[in-house]
Structure 1
């Protein structure tokens, strides 16, 4: 299933009001860890899968990447990227992640930030990324953490006074579609275990170099104190892998 919720006017408006939409990478709680996992981008050919607003594309160019291709299915996302994060060496393409067909060895680095939990067949994407990377090329991805995606409701368990008691985890081993609520909309996501993410990469010919389950930095918490509960359970899973 190829979703395009971001071209729905109401959904896009709500998304555009999120802190990370307004503040860019510096407002993304996982960004300091993801940035540290990136290889040196100078003179590299970079592909961003699910590029959204183009924040990572622009960052790659700021790090003197040779060229960047940003792929996204949303016209509204790409329109924003072209207006606000444009550069002569960034090419934005309207395309579903599942439909990418690049040449062998076309890129040195592939990035995907918080997009692949919307893709049904993760293993197919891994094989396509492996194909389009040079030998020794790097694939860095972030997804919603399986502890976060296991229960479709994606919400806390509350006490009698409305206090957040704990984060429920159930049906963890039951992989597949979850009809989640995000920004007051029904959104289809796909739950996978950590083992499935890791093994899909290994089976596609990658070597895992780092895993991370970041929490907000103190600087982020000082700026966005409402994020304090994000320290109680992981919300993101970050993986860095290298093509063997």
Structure 2
């Protein structure tokens, strides 16, 4: 039976995919094993192959028409797992195989948001080349550029800015990426934002500027930069 399971509920295909056994995966696919069986975390064969960067397994599963947009129990897609680990070749295989470049997880984080949060500039560039949206927001109302600022990820921020992400895009409360860089004390992110035209005096709906929030949280170096 190609769909046999162990006591933990894992199928033979899922175990082979997790371990990168491409020959076994190919044999099971030819035997019409179910491609969407889940482990206890809701991860499917394609998910674990993406997470573990097993490229040949990915090719085989995608060739067998595995659905690249199914989510696990964390709401994560195979593309999001590959992005989180900056597995660039796996990301490209998934995109070429039909993965939705903008499909969000349960926290409304798109793959581009995940790349920005982790500071993976190369992953940002790959997703931008695939026309991923700069404007979709997570459950906090943050764009990928806000996320890079919040997490002090200057290389990811610069990659987004170089791809023409808006340096002044506000949240619903009017907070700009520079506001979050100032609050976090992310000096290099603040420098990149200003270099690409961010307004130093943009206020939130409460009238708070980046300089004010830097002063309030004691971010000396950011405050010093903003008054120059």
Rg larger for? 2
Q: For this structure pair, what is the TM-score category when the shorter chain's length is used for normalisation?
A: under 0.3
Q: TM-score, length-normalised on structure 1?
A: 0.26
Q: Name whichever structure is richer in strand by fraction.
A: 1
**Higher helix proportion (structure 1 or 2):** 2
Q: TM-score when scaled to structure 2?
A: 0.27
Q: Which has the higher contact order (CA 8 A, sep 6+)?
A: 1
